[in-house]
C-alpha cells in the first residue's frame, strides 16, 4: 500500500512539473550577510508564475557595547504576471505577495521578544533568462502589515497601532537556473 501511494505521488509530481518550468534561485548578497535567501518559481502558464522564497535569518549586531540577536523564520509567497514574455515567465512583471514571518529578538539575555507579522503587498520586477537557462532577477515590493504583534514576557504589544512599523518592503536580486 505504501509503495502504491509513493508511486502515485511521484507520478503526480512528475506530471505536474512536466507542464511548467521550475526555477531555483539564490541571492548572492544574502549568503554574504549570513541570511539563507533562496527561492523557487513555477511557471503555470506563459504569463503567470508562482514563487516561494523561504526566510531564514540569523543576525548578531554589536552596538554600543551590547549584543543584539535575532532569528526570523517565514516565507514570501508571490504571484507574478509577466508582460510580453519572450521565453515563458520572463521580462517585466507585476506581483502580489504575502509574507508571514515570526521572529525572536533578544538583548544579551536581558530581554527577549517574540514577534509575528503577516504582510501583503504589490511589486514589480524584471527577469532575464539566458540561452543556457541561467536566470537573473530583480524585484521590489511595498506592502502593509495585516497582523503585527509582539509577545514579550510581560504582556502582548499590538504593533499595528504604530503607523511606521506596519510598512513592509521586499527587495531582491537573485541568480539561478531554470529547469
Distance CA 35, CA 39 (A): 13
Q: What is the pLDDT of residue 1?
A: 54
Q: What is the pLDDT of residue 30?
A: 75
**45 against 16, higher pLDDT:** 45
pLDDT band for 88, please (50, 70, 90 cuts): confident
Place of cell 554589536: 62
**pLDDT > 70 in the chain, percent:** 82
Burial class (CB in 10 A: 0-12, 13-18, 19+), 169: exposed
pLDDT digits (tens, 9 = 90+) for 120-178: 999 999 999 988 889 999 999 999 988 888 777 655 666 666 667 788 888 889 999 98
Cell numbers placing 63: 552596538
Inter-CA distances, 126 with 91, 116, 139, 172, Å: 5, 30, 6, 11
- Whether pTM > 0.85 for this model: the answer is no
Q: How many domains does the chain have?
A: 1
CATH number of the domain within which 75 lies: 2.40.160
Distance CA 140, CA 173 (A): 9
pLDDT band for 114, please (50, 70, 90 cuts): confident
Inter-CA distances, 41 with 80, 98, 146, Å: 10, 15, 24
- Give yes or no for a contact between 122 and 94, defined as CB atoms under 8 angstroms apart: yes
Averaged over 75-87, what is the pLDDT?
Answer: 91
Query: Domain of 93?
Result: 2-178
What's the whole-number average pLDDT of the chain?
83
Amino acid at each position: 500500500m505504501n509503495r502504491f501511494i509513493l508511486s502515485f505521488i511521484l507520478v503526480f509530481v512528475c506530471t505536474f512539473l512536466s507542464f511548467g518550468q521550475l526555477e531555483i534561485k539564490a541571492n548572492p548578497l544574502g549568503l554574504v550577510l549570513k541570511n539563507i535567501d533562496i527561492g523557487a518559481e513555477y511557471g503555470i502558464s506563459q504569463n503567470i508564475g508562482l514563487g516561494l522564497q523561504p526566510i531564514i535569518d540569523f543576525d548578531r549586531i554589536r552596538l554600543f557595547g551590547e549584543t543584539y540577536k535575532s532569528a526570523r523564520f517565514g516565507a514570501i509567497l508571490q504571484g507574478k504576471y509577466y508582460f510580453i514574455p519572450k521565453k515563458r515567465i520572463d521580462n517585466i512583471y507585476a506581483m502580489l505577495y504575502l509574507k508571514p514571518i515570526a521572529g525572536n529578538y533578544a538583548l544579551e539575555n536581558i530581554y527577549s521578544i517574540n514577534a509575528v507579522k503577516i504582510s501583503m503587498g504589490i511589486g514589480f520586477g524584471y527577469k532575464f533568462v539566458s540561452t543556457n537557462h541561467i536566470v537573473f532577477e530583480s524585484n521590489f515590493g511595498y506592502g502593509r502589515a495585516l497582523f503585527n504583534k509582539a509577545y514579550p514576557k510581560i504582556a502582548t504589544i499590538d504593533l499595528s497601532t504604530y503607523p511606521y512599523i506596519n510598512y513592509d518592503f521586499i527587495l531582491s536580486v537573485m541568480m539561478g537556473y531554470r529547469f
